[in-house]
A and B are shown apart, each in its own frame.
Chain A
Amino acid sequence: MTIDNLKSPDLAVPGLPPTAGAAPGTISRPAPGTSDLLSLDDLHISVHHGAATAIRGVSLGIRPGEIVGLVGESGSGKTLTCRAALGVLPAGVTIDHGSMTFAGHDLTTLSRRGWEEVHGSHMGAVFQDPASYLNPTIAVGHQLAEVLRVKLGLSRRAAHQRSVELFSAVGLHQPEHVFHQIQAELSGGMLQRVMIAIAISCDPELLVADEATTALDVTIQAEIIDLLRWLRDERGLAVLFVSHDLAVVAELCDRVVVFYAGEVVESGPAAEIIERPRHPYTQALLEVASVGDFRRRELQVIAGQPPPVGADITGCRFAERCPLAADVCRTGPIAPVAVGEEHQVRCVRAQEAWSSGELAAR
């Protein structure tokens, strides 16, 4: 039981005392800013007991303290990728190929006990609908305190005190009062803050936020985005942020990974992808993502529908809907190519796509 390397001082919430006692730690904390904290490589995932391949060769990495956004339409595979990384794939869904490592440890061979240790202590998660993850009859504070007692072995009193401090850290006013309230007495934004408090309670290095702000009012969404940014700045928390809304991702993330029909079609620094999208699909997404623009405009539509999950397509999976598609796009598998520092795109016509985008912008 090595506890000294688990709680580096720079990862503690300001104003929070260091945790007394910690989870058994066999996974050591990586130093911030070095190599990938979570790394997925050539991941293939099948659904319906192997009947269809939903994820085809997804690779992505997230460094300590980095906020990475996964965007794409529903059914593109972003949630499945997250759930694989969290070790919570539903029945009938299996990882067929590929590797997943967290701080250098192989996640694909992790035992159930191993995952128990990872959950909470190293990875936290928040989802779209906080109400369905909380017990409606138990005060929210007790649900957080229970986590602290089980995972960190805190006493009843210490768990209570730390819960109140965590509630305060995530911006809940009158945390002592909130501690004794049940789910029905709290608003959606407050519940999402409670969920974030629970997710970060054991000081994980990574927070997975799957559509965590989608169901919230826009003013509350802005506050939660602020909170996530603050947690990253103050605690060095890495965030894997999943959203179908490119504007939210652009607002929050350092890097963006664009999913289409089970593949990563483009990934790179957020500012660069927004400014210079290379994949025709990313360009189309940016054109329809009018959110945040209050000028009167033509409402754009991406023609066609994405292929069904598991569809067997030779060549580019976006070719059916792509304005630039040529014969070369349909002859064989398309490999991702580097078009800039850390900027990759899975398109053989990336150069043409870029020029036509330039032309349209003029």
Chain B
Amino acid sequence: MSATASAPSLPGTAPLLEVESLDVVLGRGWRATQVLSGVDLAIGPGEIVGLVGETGSGKTTLARTVAGLVDPAAGQVVFEGATLSALRRGARRAERRRGHLQLVFQDPLRSLDPEMTVHDIVAEGVRLQGETDRAEIRRRVLTALGQVGLDDSVLPRTPGQISGGQRQRVSIARALATEPRLLICDEPVSALDASNRNYILRLLEQLRTSLRLSIVIISHDLSSLAGIADRVVVLYRGRIVEDGPVDQVFAAPEHPYTALLMASAPSVRHDRELTPRQLTRTVAEAGALPEAVLEGLGGPDACVFATRCAFAAAACAVQPPLVTAGDHRRVACHRHSEWLTLARSRGADGRLAHDQLSADAQLTTEGQLR
């Protein structure tokens, strides 16, 4: 598709990681499910990218595919100029041992071996790289622990003997010990309380600067990225629906799903411009749509968000391409220039203001005619 925007990255630098038209299918035969469709993404050196989406949107599968743990059905993953998906088994194992790309998982209590000491956990990657000198291993373990603000007192302990926040720091130290270029953190803070969450996010920010690391933070919580990410990528049912600089996306989301995520986030200050109900279609509203339109929206080719979107019209029966929308921004929505006005005209309780009802109905019909 020529209209499709290529993945933006910071100007003047070659991206560290490039994901191109990635399709991933999990399962075989009748169980096969397409988890990712046409994902294009570039991560620049020293960039922090937030990857947001709900359960089942494919965030973790994307991370696993990038790490070479899942084979894509189509498309490719290029890391430091080498096409990972084309590597044969031995070469891929060698690439993994190099440790330039590391994963950090959500629940360190479950992802760390409960019987290994902190020293052995952090040293494992270094040993896999081929380092055999015990003094050198210990030096690198201590360096990595120092980078996350831990000292040698935790070395002989097991994951069960340290606190939750310390455990997450140990998982980050484990990843840092191999001197990676790219860190993919899968929900690194969702198991932590607010104070520890901020501590870990601040730590990642510092590491980006001091080690010139690129970091991908996978999260289901959009607002926890506000203080740290440069760019945010929103996934919905396996597709990128929005991508852009974090300040711009949060100031004015282009996709109704991004707006829904923001409207749904609980707020201490009750300062939301839009409510979730202004952005989602009620059952009654779905019933009011012409049957042919409704059928199209539920079809396999429809926009991934069409089943919930309050603004879905006949055109949305076809998946919109991810197009450029302003500087460094991409959005996949047929109605990205219209929905905000429509949302504002919907009452906060989800019902349309009386005089707006016919106007929106007209729009829907027009869309259908086109």
Q: Which residues of A contact B (CB under 8 A)?
A: 73-74, 173, 187-188, 217-223, 225, 244-248, 250-252, 274, 284-286, 288-302, 305
What is the bound-complex CA distance between A296 and B50, given in angstroms?
14
Contacts of A302 in B (CB 8 A): 195
Taking CB atoms and an 8 Å cut-off, the chain B residues in 214-229 that contact chain A are 220-224, 226-228
A291 and B227 contact, CB distance less than 8 A: no
Q: How far is the CB of B260 from chain A (nearest CB, A)?
A: 6
Contacts of A294 in B (CB 8 A): 222-223, 226, 250, 262, 265
20 additional contacts (CB under 8 A) given A74-B193, A286-B268, A290-B223? A187-B55, A218-B220, A218-B221, A218-B264, A219-B276, A221-B264, A223-B276, A246-B194, A250-B267, A288-B197, A289-B194, A291-B194, A292-B265, A292-B266, A294-B250, A294-B265, A296-B227, A296-B247, A301-B195, A301-B202
A246 and B268 contact, CB distance less than 8 A: yes
A299 and B202 contact, CB distance less than 8 A: yes
What is the bound-complex CA distance between A73 and B222, given in angstroms?
21
Contacts of B228 in A (CB 8 A): 299
- The reply to whether the CB of B36 lies closer than 8 angstroms to some CB of chain A is no
A-B contact pairs, 23 of them (CB 8 A): A218-B220, A218-B221, A222-B263, A223-B276, A244-B193, A244-B194, A246-B194, A250-B267, A250-B270, A274-B269, A288-B195, A288-B197, A289-B268, A291-B223, A291-B265, A292-B265, A293-B223, A294-B262, A296-B227, A296-B247, A299-B228, A300-B195, A300-B198
B266 and A248 contact, CB distance less than 8 A: yes
B261 and A218 contact, CB distance less than 8 A: yes
B261 and A290 contact, CB distance less than 8 A: no
A188 and B223 contact, CB distance less than 8 A: no
In the complex, residue of chain B having the shortest beta-carbon distance to the beta carbon of A271: B270
Given contacts A188-B55, A300-B198, A301-B195, contact A222 B266 (CB under 8 A): yes
A292 and B269 contact, CB distance less than 8 A: yes
Given contacts A299-B198, A301-B199, contact A290 B266 (CB under 8 A): no
Given contacts A219-B54, A291-B223, A301-B199, contact A73 B268 (CB under 8 A): no
What is the bound-complex CA distance between A218 and B54, given in angstroms?
8
What is the bound-complex CA distance between A223 and B277, given in angstroms?
9
In the complex, residue of chain A having the shortest beta-carbon distance to the beta carbon of B165: A305
A299 and B276 contact, CB distance less than 8 A: no
Given contacts A289-B194, A300-B198, contact A219 B260 (CB under 8 A): yes
Given contacts A218-B264, A223-B276, contact A290 B247 (CB under 8 A): no
Q: How far is the CB of B122 from chain A (nearest CB, A)?
A: 22
A293 and B54 contact, CB distance less than 8 A: no
In the complex, residue of chain A having the shortest beta-carbon distance to the beta carbon of B260: A219
Q: Which of A73, A217, A296 lies in contact with B193, CB distance below 8 A?
A: A73
Q: How far is the CB of B225 from chain A (nearest CB, A)?
A: 9
B224 and A291 contact, CB distance less than 8 A: yes
Given contacts A289-B194, A294-B226, contact A222 B268 (CB under 8 A): no
Contacts of B269 in A (CB 8 A): 274, 292-293
Chain B: number of interface residues, binned into ranges: 35 or more
What is the bound-complex CA distance between A205 and B42, given in angstroms?
54
A225 and B222 contact, CB distance less than 8 A: no
Taking CB atoms and an 8 Å cut-off, the chain B residues in 43-62 that contact chain A are 54-55
What is the bound-complex CA distance between A293 and B222, given in angstroms?
10
A288 and B194 contact, CB distance less than 8 A: yes
Contacts of A297 in B (CB 8 A): 226-227
A222 and B224 contact, CB distance less than 8 A: no
Taking CB atoms and an 8 Å cut-off, the chain B residues in 252-275 that contact chain A are 260-270
Q: How far is the CB of A173 from chain B (nearest CB, A)?
A: 6
What is the bound-complex CA distance between A292 and B269, given in angstroms?
8
What is the bound-complex CA distance between A252 and B270, given in angstroms?
11
Q: What does the 1/0 interface line of B170-204 toward A look like (CB < 8 Å)? A: 00000000000000000000000111011101100
Q: What does the 1/0 interface line of B129-168 toward A look like (CB < 8 Å)? A: 0000000000000000000000000000000000110000
In the complex, residue of chain A having the shortest beta-carbon distance to the beta carbon of B53: A217
Given contacts A73-B193, A286-B268, A288-B194, contact A219 B226 (CB under 8 A): no
Contacts of B32 in A (CB 8 A): none
Contacts of B222 in A (CB 8 A): 218, 294
Q: How far is the CB of A336 from chain B (nearest CB, A)?
A: 24
What is the bound-complex CA distance between A284 and B246, given in angstroms?
26
What is the bound-complex CA distance between A217 and B205, given in angstroms?
25
Given contacts A73-B193, A288-B195, A305-B163, contact A296 B226 (CB under 8 A): yes
In the complex, residue of chain A having the shortest beta-carbon distance to the beta carbon of B249: A294
Contacts of A295 in B (CB 8 A): 226, 250
A274 and B266 contact, CB distance less than 8 A: no
What is the bound-complex CA distance between A220 and B280, given in angstroms?
12
Contacts of A247 in B (CB 8 A): 265-268
Contacts of B223 in A (CB 8 A): 290-294
- The reply to whether the CB of B288 lies closer than 8 angstroms to some CB of chain A is no
Report the 3 A-B pairs with minimum CB-CB distance, sorted nearest first.
A292-B267, A222-B264, A217-B54
What is the bound-complex CA distance between A327 and B250, given in angstroms?
45
Contacts of A222 in B (CB 8 A): 263-264, 266, 276
What is the bound-complex CA distance between A244 and B193, given in angstroms?
7
In the complex, residue of chain B having the shortest beta-carbon distance to the beta carbon of A188: B55
In the complex, residue of chain A having the shortest beta-carbon distance to the beta carbon of B52: A218
Q: How far is the CB of A349 from chain B (nearest CB, A)?
A: 21
